Amino acid sequence: MTMISRAVLPLPLLLAAAASSLSFQACAAADVEKGKDVFATECAECHSVREGKNKKGPSLFGVVGRKAATVADASYSDALKASGITWTPDKIDAYVTAPKKVVPGGKMKYDGLASAAERAELLAYLATLK
């Protein structure tokens, strides 16, 4: 009985945990899909997500965690080169919100994305690019 109890009692918890995990993954997947759309709308004119494919701006493949101004064969402003930034999610979020505030003198011609939800979705998508 004890054995059965041990086996049975955790099951609802396990199911709940599994459901929660699936739900989280579904939400995350949804965020990534939405983020892909945000990227297409806001970023894709100047940035590719293909590794090594630089447009006017550098490839954003592997951007999360990357040190700024380090993509080979990409062109950067002196301001960004001197910024010492590492593209953590927080830093990307701040930069996408107001590029010229984070990197004064930078050359990215983008006014910023005001929606926090869209930035979160964009970050979820960028995090998959590795």
Contact positions vs another protein (CB under 8 A)? 37, 40-42, 44-46, 48, 50, 53-56, 73, 75-76, 109, 111
d(Cα 42, Cα 113) in Å, to the nearest integer?
Answer: 8
d(Cα 61, Cα 40) in Å, to the nearest integer?
Answer: 14
In this complex, which beta carbon is closest to another protein, that of residue 14 or of residue 50? 50
Rg (CA), the chain: 20
Among candidates 118, 107, 13, which has minimal Cα distance to 69? 107
Phi, psi of 86, deg, nearest 5: -110, 135
In this complex, which beta carbon is closest to another protein, that of residue 108 or of residue 123? 108
In this complex, which beta carbon is closest to another protein, that of residue 90 or of residue 114? 114
CB of 106 to another protein, least distance (A): 13
In this complex, which beta carbon is closest to another protein, that of residue 46 or of residue 85? 46
Residue whose tokens read 């396990």: 14
